[in-house]
């Protein structure tokens, strides 16, 4: 099963249109987007290498081949907007508000140092390594902290937006979920409530065709998972998750819709999971997923698609067009040379910081069960 095509699915690749949000992007924007795809891809590939090299413990949930969803959805947000990433969205933590400058300490996203400390389980992680992998967040940076329980942050997103409006804000919140996760009851409760109250919650569905070892056909009865929106009478869009500009367009439509008070929406981004569910599943995934399907599913690399688009627009000159070539390469094939040096350096800095950060002291294990009541008003 490959990323299914749907009638409502349009790809920018073939049909650029000046009425679309992406037509307003500058060349610099597009180049930044291209760069962010590299950043996300490199983060993923490097972590896999680190794990193989034995420098890293814990399970990796790869976002390889799904990077356009993160980059495209985050690029158009206001700094004050909120996001709620899940397991396959690690790059979202540092890509949020990347437009304000990756080095800008005031930007509304996490630093790569913080993210690496989380990956490596160090005390300088935003959560002081108390929960693993993507279970971090930041009240200050407007990133909702997730639990493992799939779809569990959608009602939280609704509550954050409810409070935002009571506070006079104009933020929107993007929540990310796999297509399998939409079967959870809390998905329905939260989307229904958001729809009743027209809360600006955009639910992005990363439909990578598989939920662990189960194909989407056993998780969702409709061809497009976005059709779940119809049950709530809300906007339901399908994007080509491999095309960062189509993701950008669809998400920006949903974001504008939400910000202008028209209510929540679902944006399904069709994609394909490159590897196993987590790295522990790579070998078994090769058994339960036909090779043919995997080849097809990975044939549309989001970096390649973006490159072609930029080339067509004349954004790339001859040299820069081919200087780096990460597309189509899996973690074991790609090397640092396949990535822009600033991308490699950026992550390198985060990793070094993490390796120098301490593991938390055991005593912290019993701290912070409760907030101190005395300090409350």
Ligand X SMILES: Cc1ncc(C[n+]2csc(CCOP(=O)(O)OP(=O)(O)O)c2C)c(N)n1
Question: Which residues form the interface with a copy of itself (CB under 8 A)?
Answer: 183-189, 192-193, 195-196, 217-223, 227-234, 263
Any contact of residue 81 with ligand X (CB under 6 A)?
no
Least CB distance from residue 52 to ligand X, whole Å?
21
Any contact of residue 304 with other proteins (CB under 8 A)?
no
Least CB distance from residue 106 to ligand X, whole Å?
31
Least CB distance from residue 114 to ligand X, whole Å?
23
Any contact of residue 91 with other proteins (CB under 8 A)?
no
Which region among 178-186, 232-240, 279-287, 307-315 touches ligand X (by CB under 6 A)?
178-186
Closest CA to 273 of 224, 229, 336, 214: 214
72 binds, among ligand X, Mg ion, a copy of itself, none (CB under 5 to 8 A by kind): none
Provide the 8-state DSSP code for 18.
Answer: T
265/338 Cα distance (integer angstroms)? 37
319 binds, among ligand X, other proteins, Mg ion, none (CB under 5 to 8 A by kind): none
Q: Are strands 210-211 and 214-215 parallel, antiparallel or unpaired?
A: antiparallel
CB 358 within 8 A of CB 123: yes
150 binds, among a copy of itself, Mg ion, ligand X, none (CB under 5 to 8 A by kind): ligand X
Q: What are phi and psi of 183, to 5 degrees?
A: -80, -15
Window 131 to 190, contacts with other proteins (CB under 8 A): 131-132, 135, 137-139, 144-145, 147-150, 152-164, 166-167, 180-181, 183-186, 189-190
Q: Which is nearer to other proteins, 196 or 295 (CB)?
A: 196
Neighbour order of strands in the sheet with 235-240: 82-84, 173-178, 201-207, 265-270, 235-240
b/e burial code for range 287-311 (CB count within 10 A of at least 16 → b): eebeeeebeebbebbbbbbbbebbe
DSSP letters spanning 109-164:
S--HHHHHHHHTT-TTSTTTTSS-TT---BTTTTBPPP-SSTTTTHHHHHHHHHHH
Please select the residue that binds ligand X; options are 208, 242, 271, 357, rule is CB under 6 A.
208
Least CB distance from residue 270 to a copy of itself, whole Å?
17
208 binds, among a copy of itself, other proteins, Mg ion, none (CB under 5 to 8 A by kind): Mg ion
* The pair of three-digit structure tokens given for residue 316, joined into one six-digit string: 């790339």
Provide the 8-state DSSP code for 1.
Answer: -
The contact mask relative to other proteins for 51-90 (x = CB under 8 A, - = no) is: ------xx--------------------------------
CB 31 within 8 A of CB 1: no
The contact mask relative to ligand X for 113-152 (x = CB under 6 A, - = no) is: -----------------------------------xxx--
Provide the 8-state DSSP code for 278.
Answer: S
The strand pairing partners of 268, in sequence order, are: 205, 238
Return contacts of 232-235, CB within 8 angstroms, 24+ apart: 232/191, 232/192, 232/195, 232/264, 233/195, 234/191, 234/195, 234/263, 234/264, 234/265, 234/266, 235/262, 235/263, 235/264, 235/265, 235/266
Any contact of residue 206 with ligand X (CB under 6 A)?
yes
222 binds, among a copy of itself, Mg ion, other proteins, none (CB under 5 to 8 A by kind): a copy of itself
48 binds, among ligand X, Mg ion, other proteins, none (CB under 5 to 8 A by kind): none
Please select the residue that binds ligand X; options are 46, 64, 88, 307, rule is CB under 6 A.
88
158 binds, among other proteins, ligand X, a copy of itself, none (CB under 5 to 8 A by kind): other proteins
Least CB distance from residue 177 to a copy of itself, whole Å?
14
Least CB distance from residue 149 to Mg ion, whole Å?
16
Which chain residues interact with ligand X by CB under 6 A?
88, 148-150, 178-181, 184, 206, 208, 210-212, 273, 277
């Amino acid at each position: 099963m490959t990323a299914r095509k749907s009638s409502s699915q349009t790809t920018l690749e073939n049909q650029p249109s000046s009425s679309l949000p992406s037509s307003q992007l500058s060349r610099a924007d597009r180049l930044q987007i291209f760069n962010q795809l590299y950043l996300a891809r490199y983060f993923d590939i490097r972590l896999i290498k680190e794990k193989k090299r034995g420098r890293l413990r814990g399970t990796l949930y790869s976002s390889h081949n799904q990077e356009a969803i993160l980059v495209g959805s985050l690029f158009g947000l206001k700094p004050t907007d909120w996001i709620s990433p899940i397991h396959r969205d690690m790059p979202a933590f540092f890509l949020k508000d990347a437009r304000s400058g990756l080095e800008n300490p005031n930007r509304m996203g996490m630093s790569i140092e913080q993210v690496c400390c989380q990956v490596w389980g160090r005390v300088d992680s935003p959560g002081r390594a108390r929960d693993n992998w993507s279970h971090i967040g930041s009240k200050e940076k407007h990133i909702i902290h997730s639990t493992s329980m799939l779809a569990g942050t959608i009602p939280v997103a609704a509550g954050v937006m409810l409070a935002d409006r009571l506070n006079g804000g104009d933020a929107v919140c993007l929540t990310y979920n796999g297509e399998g996760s939409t079967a959870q009851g809390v998905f329905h409760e939260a989307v229904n409530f958001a729809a009743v109250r027209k809360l600006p919650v955009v639910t992005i569905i990363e439909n990578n065709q598989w939920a662990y070892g189960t194909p989407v056909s056993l998780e969702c009865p409709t061809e497009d998972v976005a059709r779940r929106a119809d049950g709530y009478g809300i906007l339901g869009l399908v994007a080509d998750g491999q095309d960062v500009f189509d993701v950008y367009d669809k998400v920006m439509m949903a974001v504008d819709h939400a910000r202008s008070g028209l209510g929540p929406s679902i944006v399904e981004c069709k994609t394909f999971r490159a590897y196993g569910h987590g790295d522990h599943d790579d070998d078994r995934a090769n058994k339960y997923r036909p090779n043919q399907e995997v080849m097809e599913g990975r044939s549309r690399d989001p970096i390649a698609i973006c490159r072609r688009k930029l080339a067509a627009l004349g954004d790339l000159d001859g040299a820069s067009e081919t200087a780096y070539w990460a597309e189509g390469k899996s973690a074991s094939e790609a090397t640092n040379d396949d990535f822009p040096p600033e991308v490699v350096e950026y992550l390198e800095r985060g990793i070094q910081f993490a390796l120098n950060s301490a593991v938390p002291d055991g005593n912290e294990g019993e701290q912070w069960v409760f907030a101190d009541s005395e300090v409350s008003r």
